[in-house]
Amino acid sequence: MSEVHIYHNPRCSKSRQTLALLEEQGIQPSIIEYLKDPLTAADISDLLRKLGFISARELIRSKEDAYKELNLKDVDDEKQLINAMVEHPKLIERPIVVKGDQARLGRPPEAVLEIL
């Protein structure tokens, strides 16, 4: 059985709800607070692959101030978008739950149940 990880922001209600849902399922995931322990470009690329080869744009929070400040609306380059998430971790959509070689975005929280 693979270990379960959650990329978590304790200030985010969806992230807290997803963590609670995992715990209700009897799962004690390893918690990665990505704002305190930022991800590398390789980490983000790996998550994109595990999420089903989604694009970097699909993982970016477009309502964050950094999104507007960096003018990311007009950026099509995957590498540039990933680097923006490395430099500004708040841009990363959350929570992300990983089990083995699969990941799901906890929006809605129940979506993570698909991989458990």
Instruction: Please give the positions annotated as active site.
Output: 12
Name which of 40, 61, 63, 59 is nearest 50 in CA terms.
59
Q: Which two tokens stand for residue 84?
A: 């923006």
User: Chain centroid to CA 41: how far?
Assistant: 13
Which residue bears the tokens 């978590």? 8
